[in-house]
Amino acid sequence: MIVAVDGPAASGKGTIARALARHYGLPHMDTGLLYRAVALNLLRWDGDPESEFSALRACDFSQVDFADPELKSEAVGGVASRISAYPMVRQALVERQRAFAEQAGGAVLDGRDIGTVIAPEADAKLFVTAAAEVRARRRHDELRRMNMPAHYEDVLADIRARDARDSGRAAAPLVVAEDAVLLDTSDLDVDQAVAAALAAVEARR
């Protein structure tokens, strides 16, 4: 079984995807971490985020520690959102994601284009969203828990900028797949959101 979980930044899609993976005993991939890893490489190599070629060269995971907390920083997230618009970067990462989705037994993947580009044949598709203000508060609180500097107004501005970039890019824009279940988590706590997601997946099985 392949489960695709898409949605904008800080919507709760990662939390929901991990919970679904645990429930069904499936492997999970946070595809956003791939783009964040490229962004972190680019920053550490003093590459130019405005250069698609530089971003493509940074698609090297040989030295990446996916547990590195720096991957969750706002600086890395901002660059990741920008380079994710580059067609060559997206193509460089597509096959890795598709191979993960198509492994024996299936998988759960979360990102921006799982249900539309990576795994359009997914057995269940969710599009998880929430109001920008709610998402900014969640991301702000997450950053504070990680002892990273964060100001709510700055995080909110960044969330809105990312939404505009993700939805407006030419390559695999953030859109709701026609057969996806829309799940708004604005007024839901974690348990409620996970329960709603599980119900949606069960209805599609």
pLDDT at 165: 87
* pLDDT higher than threshold 90 for residue 74: no
pLDDT in tens, 9-49: 999 999 999 999 999 999 999 999 999 999 999 999 999 99
Q: Which long-range contacts (CB under 8 A, 24 or more apart) does 190-193 make?
A: 190/12, 190/15, 193/12, 193/15, 193/16, 193/128
pLDDT in tens, 171-205: 888 999 999 999 999 999 999 999 999 999 999 88
pLDDT at 124: 98
pLDDT in tens, 103-152: 999 999 999 999 999 999 999 999 999 999 999 999 999 999 988 888 99
Could you tell me if 44 and 55 are in contact, meaning their C-beta atoms sit under 8 angstroms apart? no
Where are the domains positioned within the chain?
2-204
Average pLDDT over all residues of the chain: 94
Number of H helices, E strands in the chain: 8, 5
pLDDT band at 169 (very low <50, low <70, confident <90, very high): confident
| Burial class, 42, CB count within 10 angstroms (exposed 0-12 / middle 13-18 / buried 19+) | buried
For the four alpha carbons of 167, 142, 122 and 192, in that order, the dihedral sign comes to negative
Of 3.40.50.2300, 3.40.50.300, 2.40.50.100, 1.10.10.10, which CATH number belongs to 2-204?
Answer: 3.40.50.300
CA separation (Å) from 180 to 5, 33, 197, 205?
9, 23, 11, 13
